[in-house]
Amino acid sequence: MSDRAPTPMTTPTRTGVPTMRLLRPETPTRRALRHLRDRMLAGIAVVAPVWVTVVSVVFLFRLARGGSLWVISALLSSSLGAPLLSLLGTSEQAWQAGGMDALPVHGEWLVSFVAIALTLATVYGAGLVSMFVLGRRAIGLLESLVSRVPLVATVYGASKKVVDSFTNDENQPFQEVVLVEFPTPASRSVAFVTRRWRAGDQEWATVFVPTTPNPTSGFMLVLSPEHMQVLPMSVDEAVAVVMSGGVLMKDGQRVPGLGER
């Protein structure tokens, strides 16, 4: 228990008549909780970016490895796999029983890196083939065959349009960064214009309002141009602003005249 007397303090009320309340001294428990809270928040600020980076790298590593791991597994399971398994430090019987778990650590890493290299080589080869006339014809023939399968055609067509919108410089998905009244008339949200069109004499625009800190999800709005205000920033800068919750917005990127209505 502290022997310090409580400190009086005046507090204004709605009626304008000040009242007296006592400020009690901070107890050791409150001080410890505040210390723990401050250190935890500081730790999250340090660990969170590292954790997100590690998770992203691991996800991409597994994705690239899984794209070609089945090819290497089939090769090691064939009649040609016995000498390769011996080089990797395991036997054919152990491989048949445990698969990748039968490999020692260095063997598993070697197989993983070979699978990643094979995946990257396949992607590069597909891009190289698409640069030639015969390659484009072969890809077109394959797409025509896929388009005849009911469910597969829908999924493939939608995914191809999304990928093309991001990889084709002439058809970028986000045209410009704007400010829209969302989710209430009193608030504003950063959005991306994805398409503009005309319906009679009226011009319309489809905008995507991303969520924070994950900009891959959000809301689609259809607005007229007078309900949008163009922001002086690029798409990359806007994505960084959204992911940071507005922390990375620079003074020069703030909208002049905002609120002067």
Beta-carbon contacts of residue 156 (< 8 Å; ≥ 6 apart): 143, 146, 147
**Arithmetic mean of pLDDT, 188-206:** 89
If you average pLDDT over residues 2-21, what whole number do you get?
Answer: 53
Instruction: Answer yes or no: is pLDDT of 112 > 80.
Output: yes
d(CA 40, CA 43): 5
Phi and psi, residue 173, nearest 5°: -70, -35
Give the DSSP H or E segment for 225.
Answer: none
Residues 120 and 49 placed together within one structural domain of the fold:
yes
One domain for residues 119 and 31: yes
Among 76, 102, 129, the domain-final residue is: 129
Count of C-beta atoms within a 10 Å radius of residue 189: 20
pLDDT, tens digit, for every residue of 48-91? Answer: 889 988 988 999 999 999 989 999 989 888 888 888 888 888 88
pLDDT of residue 167: 62
- What's residue 14's pLDDT? 55
Q: Say which range, 139-153, 158-172, 187-201, 220-234, has the weakest mean pLDDT.
A: 158-172
Given 169, 196, 228, which residue is the final one in a domain?
169
Tell whether 125 and 143 lie within a shared domain: no
Token output for 48: 């969170």
Please state the domain count of the chain.
Answer: 3
User: 192 by DSSP, 3-state: which?
Assistant: strand
Residue 256: inside a domain:
no
Please, are residues 210 and 180 in contact by the beta-carbon 8 Å criterion? Answer: no
- Res 156 pLDDT > 90: no
Q: Which stretch of 43-47, 178-182, 248-252 has the lowest confidence by average pLDDT?
A: 248-252
What's the pLDDT at 1?
Answer: 47
Give yes or no: residues 164 and 179 share one domain: no
pLDDT-derived band at 261 (thresholds 50, 70, 90) equals very low
124 plus 39 within the same structural domain: yes
- The verdict on 123 and 134 lying in the same domain is no
Question: pLDDT band at 217, cuts 50/70/90?
Answer: confident
Instruction: Tell me if residue 200 falls in helix, strand or coil.
Output: coil
Examine the fold and report which residue of 109, 129, 149 is the final residue of a domain before the chain moves on. Answer: 129
Same structural domain, 160 and 111: no
Are residue 66 and residue 122 in the same domain, yes or no?
A: yes
Give the domain CATH number at 194.
Answer: 2.30.30
Residue 12 counted as domain residue: no
Q: State the pLDDT at residue 79.
A: 83
What mean pLDDT value characterizes the chain? 82
Q: Which domain holds residue 51?
A: 26-129
Q: Is it the case that residue 143 has pLDDT exceeding 70?
A: yes
Q: Are residues 135 and 120 in the same domain?
A: no
pLDDT of residue 22: 54
Q: Which residue has the tokens 């970028």?
A: 172
Task: Give dist(CA 231, CA 181) in Å, integer.
Answer: 13
Answer yes or no: is pLDDT of 121 > 90: yes
Given this model, what pLDDT does residue 24 score?
64
Q: Is 80 exceeded by the pLDDT of residue 254?
A: no
Domain match, 125 and 147 both: no
Task: Flag whether 70 is in a domain.
Answer: yes
